[in-house]
Amino acid sequence: MLRAMEDWPWFEHIGEPIKDPRVIAVASWDEAIEPHRSYVWECLRLQVKNRISIVLNERDWHRAQRWNPMTDEVKQVMMPLFDRIRELGSRLSLSENVFYHQVRWDLLGICMETEYADIFPPLFNVPVLAPWYQAGHFPCGWDGPVLDTRWNGEFQHYHLYIF
């Protein structure tokens, strides 16, 4: 997955028409930033990570204990890609908090879901976000229910915001 990410067409297709009924296409960075900063999107991404962590801990406690060291290892390997994304965001005059840190969170989520896929099938980052990044777009928001700590891992009807 890490090697494949290096060859993805990072944001080369933003703004192009998207014909997918599960998507709300946005047409500019300004439009993309609003849903990307939303409470609903933040809750979704955090609850997905929490759910994976909880299930991983229940199913394989010993591997769950390697979560943080594994995340640190992945971050180190991904530094060149992170640097490319930071530079791109800078060239586009996008805030690091709004762009770089958010994309980095998503990419780490994709990697961690991949790492633990033998214990827990990828829930969101790999099946939902990765294809959009891989296609050169920017997944930037969620039009669906707010996920809270009682979320059971099932998604209700939703749409993604994609730039």
Rounded Cα–Cα distance for residues 100 and 83 (Å)? 9
161: tokens are 């915001």
Q: Express each pLDDT in 81-120 by its tens digit.
A: 999 999 999 998 898 888 999 999 999 999 999 999 999 9
Question: pLDDT at position 55, please?
Answer: 93
pLDDT higher than 90, residue 1 = no
Rounded Cα–Cα distance for residues 50 and 44 (Å)? 10
Q: What is the pTM of this model?
A: 0.92
Question: pLDDT at position 109, please?
Answer: 95
Rounded Cα–Cα distance for residues 24 and 27 (Å)? 10
Q: Express each pLDDT in 123-149 by its tens digit.
A: 999 999 999 999 999 999 999 988 888
> What are the backbone dihedrals phi and psi of residue 140, each rounded to the nearest 5 degrees, phi first?
-130, 10
The average pLDDT across 62-75 equals 95
Give one DSSP letter per residue of 32-97, joined into a string.
HHHHHT-HHHHHHHHHHHHHHHHHHHHH-HHHHTTHHHHHHHHHHHHHHHHHHHHHHHHHTT--TT
* CA dist list (Å): 101 to 59, 71, 135: 30, 15, 20
Q: Express each pLDDT in 27-53 by its tens digit.
A: 999 999 889 889 999 999 999 999 999
- Residue 142, strand partner residues: 160
